[in-house]
C-alpha cells in the first residue's frame, strides 16, 4: 500500500499566497486612486457661486475638512465663509453620518 495523498487534495498555501499578493496590489492601487480623490482646495473658486453660496464642490470640501477633524472655525476661515455657515455645514455633515458618510467625487 502506498502513502499517496488523494487526488482531490491540494496544498492551499500557493493559492493563499496569491490571494495575499493580489490583495496587497489592490490596496496599493486603492491608495493611489484615493490620493487623487482626496486632493481638494478650500480656496478653489469653483467652491462658490457668483452669489457667494457654496456649490456642491464647496459643500463637499467643507465635509472633507470635517472628515479630517478640522474645527468649524478653521473651515470657516479656509473656505472664507461665516462661522454660522460652517456650523450649518457641520450639522449637515453629522446628519449624513460624519466620517462614515458617502463621499462625493470632486471635479
Residues making up the chain, counted from first to last: 107
85 and 53 in a single domain? The answer is yes
CB 103 within 8 A of CB 60: yes
pLDDT tens for the 107 residues of the chain, in order: 555 656 677 888 999 999 999 999 888 887 776 655 556 678 888 899 999 899 998 999 999 999 999 999 999 999 999 999 999 999 999 999 998 988 877 65
**pLDDT for 37:** 52
Q: Looking at the domain assignment, is residue 2 inside a domain?
A: no
At residue 40's C-alpha, the angle toward residues 36 and 46, to 5°, is 125
- If you search the block for the grid coordinates 478653521, which residue do you land on? 74
62 and 28 in a single domain? The answer is no
Q: Looking at the domain assignment, is residue 7 inside a domain?
A: no
25 and 70 in a single domain? The answer is no
Q: Looking at the domain assignment, is residue 5 inside a domain?
A: no
**pLDDT for 95:** 96
36 and 75 in a single domain? The answer is no
Q: Looking at the domain assignment, is residue 107 inside a domain?
A: no
**pLDDT for 10:** 81
- Closest alpha carbon to 58 in 44, 68, 71, 70: 44
- What is the rounded end-to-end Cα distance, in angstroms, of the chain? 70
Q: At what angle do helices 83-95 and 56-67 cross, to 10 degrees?
A: 80
**Domain carrying residue 73:** 42-100
86 and 46 in a single domain? The answer is yes
**pLDDT for 27:** 87
**pLDDT for 31:** 76
Q: Looking at the domain assignment, is residue 106 inside a domain?
A: no
- What's the total number of domains in the chain? 2
Q: Looking at the domain assignment, is residue 20 inside a domain?
A: yes
What is the number of alpha carbons within 13 Å of residue 92 lying toward its C-beta?
11
**pLDDT for 107:** 59
Amino acid at each position: 500500500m502506498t502513502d499517496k495523498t488523494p487526488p482531490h487534495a491540494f496544498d492551499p498555501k500557493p493559492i493563499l499566497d496569491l490571494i495575499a499578493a493580489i490583495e496587497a496590489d489592490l490596496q496599493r492601487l486603492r491608495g493611489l486612486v484615493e490620493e487623487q480623490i482626496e486632493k481638494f482646495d478650500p480656496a478653489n473658486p469653483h467652491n462658490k457661486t457668483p452669489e457667494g453660496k457654496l456649490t456642491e464642490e464647496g459643500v463637499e470640501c467643507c465635509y472633507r475638512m470635517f472628515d479630517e477633524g478640522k474645527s468649524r472655525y478653521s473651515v470657516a476661515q479656509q473656505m472664507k465663509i461665516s462661522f454660522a455657515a460652517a456650523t450649518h455645514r457641520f450639522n449637515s455633515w453629522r446628519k449624513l453620518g460624519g466620517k462614515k458618510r458617502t463621499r462625493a467625487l470632486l471635479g
